Amino acid sequence: MSDVPQLNKVTPVKTKDWWIKWIASFSLLISMLFASNNIFPINLWFQGFGLIGWFIVAMIWNDRALIVINTAGLAFIFNGLFEYYLEGGILLP
């Protein structure tokens, strides 16, 4: 026998929150890829989608730290999108 401790998974698999967190996580990874290649503002849309997903998971889990960080992140993302579209003349002529 090996002295290596076995890791037991405690997170349920393929539940509603499991799907949301993985889709949101991939959305955030795509956002990072777009940001690193300066593909703007689509990176903000993917990041916003990922943050909304993680906010939903935080609400399901009733995790206040995740609720706070994702709410703040969404506020920053929406601020950036608003500024982008305002300066581009899309929101106001």
Position 63 in a domain:
yes
Position 79 in a domain:
yes
Position 25 in a domain:
no
Q: Which pLDDT does position 11 carry in this prediction?
A: 76
Q: Quick one: angle between helices 42-61 and 64-87, nearest 10?
A: 160
Tell me how far apart the alpha carbons of residues 23 and 56 are, in angstroms, rounded to a whole number. Answer: 12
Widest pairwise Cα distance in the chain:
72
Position 44 in a domain:
yes
pLDDT band at 45 (very low <50, low <70, confident <90, very high): very high
Structural domain boundaries enclosing 69: 38-93
Position 6 in a domain:
no
pLDDT band at 48 (very low <50, low <70, confident <90, very high): very high
pLDDT band at 87 (very low <50, low <70, confident <90, very high): confident
Return the percentage of the chain with pLDDT > 90, whole number.
75
Q: For residue 11, give the 3-state DSSP assignment.
A: coil
Number of domain units in the chain? 1
